[in-house]
Amino acid sequence: MSTYVVWCSDLGQEQEDGATITATDPADAAEGWAEWHDRSSAEYRIASGREEIVIVRDVDTGEQREWIVRGEAMPYYTAQPGESATIRAQVAPGRWEDVPRRSEANK
């Protein structure tokens, strides 16, 4: 793992404003900056499809290079058991247990 400083000139940042990121390589550092930036700004501009050009500087060697970062939003869904009063009202008393669940229908 190496330490990098990453910043985005298009956002008015200079090296002094850069985020210090520990990563396996410069590309990993650029991606880490993109994730950090989206999360800290709560705008998720990069995950929404906007590209940003960032500069990644290796702290040990001083080598720096521009990287284009982009992302994509990935929906995340969860489900939990529920007992909707509307559904219960449609099922005859005592028959709730016999109502097929989608997961059971696929077996």
Residue-wise pLDDT tens digits, 60-76: 999 999 999 999 888 78
What's the Cα-to-Cα distance from 36 to each of 12, 13, 45, 54, 98, rounded to whole Å?
A: 17, 15, 12, 13, 48
> pTM of the predicted model, to two decimals?
0.67
Residue-wise pLDDT tens digits, 18-39: 999 999 999 999 999 999 999 8
Residue 51 token pair: 């590209």
Cβ density class 14-50: b for 16+ within 10 Å, e for less = eeeebbebebeebebbbbbbbeebbeeeeeeebbeee
Write out the H or E segment, with its range, that includes residue 26: helix 26-41
Hey, where are the domains in the chain?
Answer: 2-69
